[in-house]
C-alpha cells in the first residue's frame, strides 16, 4: 500500500499546496468569506462507491508510470474487495473544500489579475 500511495503522490505538482495556500493567499491580500467541507465516507466496496473509482484511478496512474509490477498493483486493488467482504473496508476523505475568496481593499480588475499571477509564480 505504501509504495502505491508514494507513487500516486506525483499526480500533484505541489502535493502540500492545499495546506499552505490559505496563508499564502491572505498574505497576498485576499480574505476568505467562508469554507465548507464535503465528507465522503464508504464502508462498502462497490461500483457506486467513490473509493472504488478513486482506487481505479490510482491503480491506472501508477501502472502507467511502470514503477511497480502490475501484479502488485492488481493485488493492492483486489485487497479492497476482500476487506469489504470481511466487513473491514473503510474509506473517508474530507478533501472536497469550497471557499469564497475576495481581494481585500480596492483594486481594479487588471491589478487583481497581475497580483494573482505573481502570487502563483512564487508558489
CB 53 within 8 A of CB 45: no
End-to-end CA distance of the chain: 30
pTM beyond 0.75? no
Q: What is the pLDDT of residues 48-106, one digit of tens each?
A: 999 999 999 999 999 999 999 999 999 999 999 999 999 999 999 876 555 556 666 55
Alpha-carbon span 24 to 18, nearest angstrom: 10
Alpha-carbon span 78 to 72, nearest angstrom: 10
Grid cell, residue 71, equals: 501484479
Domain ranges of the chain: 2-122
Amino acid at each position: 500500500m505504501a509504495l502505491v500511495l508514494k507513487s500516486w503522490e506525483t499526480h500533484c505538482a505541489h502535493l502540500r499546496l492545499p495546506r499552505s495556500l490559505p496563508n499564502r493567499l491572505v498574505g497576498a491580500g485576499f480574505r476568505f468569506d467562508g469554507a465548507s467541507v464535503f465528507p465522503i465516507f464508504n464502508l462498502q466496496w462497490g461500483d457506486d462507491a467513490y473509493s472504488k473509482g478513486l482506487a481505479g484511478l490510482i491503480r491506472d496512474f501508477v501502472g502507467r508510470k511502470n514503477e511497480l509490477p502490475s501484479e502488485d498493483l492488481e493485488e493492492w486493488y483486489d485487497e479492497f474487495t476482500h476487506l469489504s467482504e470481511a466487513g473491514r473496508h473503510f474509506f473517508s476523505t474530507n478533501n472536497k473544500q469550497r471557499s469564497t475568496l475576495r481581494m481585500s481593499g480596492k483594486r481594479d480588475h487588471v491589478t487583481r489579475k497581475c497580483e494573482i499571477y505573481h502570487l502563483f509564480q512564487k508558489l
